[in-house]
Structure 1
Amino acid sequence: MSAKILITFYSTYGHTFQLAQSVREGAEQAGAEVRLRRVAELPQAAEAMKNDENYQAAQKSMAHLEEVTHDDLRWADGIAWGTPTRYGNMAAQVKQFIDTTSPLWSKGELEDKASGVFVSTATQHGGQEATILSFHIPLLHLGMILVGSPYGQNPTLFNVSEIHGGSPYGPSTIAGGDGSLQPKEGDLIMSKRLGERLTKVATQLKSLRK
């Protein structure tokens, strides 16, 4: 009985998108049926970034993806959420979408579904852990079961010889202040393993709901 995994994300310069693709790879290898969806851009953000060539290129690379809907959330047995950090919190685009889910919350439609979070930050101390932890709050209100990235499955967390993303709370990557850095191999491996673990947990939870 394979789980249905939704991977939904917002990405400004494409870093979170790269992590999302690795999460998808891990979920598919674990046997999941996967949907990859993007969170809609805000008109104000698109206007503010219209002259940023890197932003425009990244948005073009993701334009083929469908925007996430409530029906995608209902469909899924497990959901992985991706976002850039914004002062230790999720991006406004993601928060606005989550704030529309009250119809699902009031009916308990997301309760007992597995859920994990992955993020990107500008700097090593840009709020990657705080963003995931603060993201957990609405997920708990929605009744979801949180899935992190434990040390035993992610030995890259013990690597202190270089700057890299990741924490026990979930995968992350460091993009640099100008977005010039790219996800390191360890960041992508952690993301892939989140997809694998999310699928396993979602499959077990699905069996209990039968």
Structure 2
Amino acid sequence: MKILVVYYSMYGHIHQMAQAVAEGAKMVEGAEVELRRVPETLPTEVLEKMGAIEPQKVFAHIPICSLEELASADAIIFGTPTRFGNMCGQMRQFFDSTGELWKDGTLVRKVGGVFTSASTQHGGLESTILSCHITLLHQGMIIVGLPYSFQGQMGVDKIRGGSPYGASTIAGADNSRIPDENELDGARFQGRHIATITSKLVQ
């Protein structure tokens, strides 16, 4: 059972969440989990002005995802930061490159999920995940979120990422807040949950 965690990360928040998703998926017997990035679309000079170059060096060793890898996976879990309540442009362009897979029905019946990050609690976490779900549905994928059996998304005692749509983290307006253990637990839960369902479907 092959599970891909495919993501874009500018400052490292989604990278940390992707690692946690992968950890959760690996808890399921028989799961082979790989991390992959989507291609960068911004020029280096723009990334430098945004202060993104140094953080990206941390995960520069993660290979870029190919369409062939999507085709061979049993489940694909996508991670994207929010951009004005929507997925980032890098993820949108990657999705737009999958037209041949759509035409051939390659991703039909594969399991899919999404996780995200935003600068504020109301910065589009849920709408970003839902915007990705639209593409996954057009590809015929089976969407799996983060059920309320993950109790860490409940409560109002502190800042919390996570919703029934998928795991998430809040980075802060200056991107200084890193995912806390509760948010990482949500990512692990979603990864394990998706891998468990995928295992049953594969069998």
Bin the TM-score by the shorter chain: over 0.9
**Aligned equivalents of 1:162 and 1:146: distance in 2?**
28
Question: Which residue of structure 2 aligns with residue 42 of structure 1?
Answer: 41
Pair 1:183 & 2:179 matched: yes
Cα deviations by residue, 1:47-106 (Å, 9 ceiling, x for unpaired): 3122444x1121101110100110110111001000000111100000000001010011
Question: Which residue of structure 1 aligns with residue 117 of structure 2?
Answer: 120
Amino acid at match of 1:43: L
- Pick one of 1, 20, 31 that aligns with 1:22: 20
- Secondary structure at the residue paired with 1:57? helix
Q: Is the 8 A contact 1:36 1:65 kept in 2?
A: yes
Question: Which residue of structure 2 aligns with residue 201 of structure 1?
Answer: 197
Question: Which residue of structure 2 aligns with residue 74 of structure 1?
Answer: 71
Aligned-residue Cα RMSD (Å) equals: 1.0
Q: Percentage identity across aligned positions? A: 48
TM-score in terms of structure 2 length: 0.97
Structure 1 gap segments, 5+ residues each: none
Displacement over 4 Å in runs of 4+: none
1:163 Cα deviation after fit:
1.1
Give the helix-richer structure, 1 or 2: 1
**Aligned equivalents of 2:18 and 2:167: distance in 1?**
10
Amino acid at match of 2:5: I
Structure 2 gap segments, 5+ residues each: none
TM-score in terms of structure 1 length: 0.93
Cα deviations by residue, 1:12-52 (Å, 9 ceiling, x for unpaired): 100000000000001111131011001111133x3312244
Pair 1:109 & 2:96 matched: no
**Aligned equivalents of 1:43 and 1:174: distance in 2?**
23
- Secondary structure at the residue paired with 1:37? strand
Amino acid at match of 2:193: R
**Aligned equivalents of 2:155 and 2:119: distance in 1?**
20
- Secondary structure at the residue paired with 2:189? helix
* Number of equivalences: 202
**Aligned equivalents of 2:154 and 2:199: distance in 1?**
29
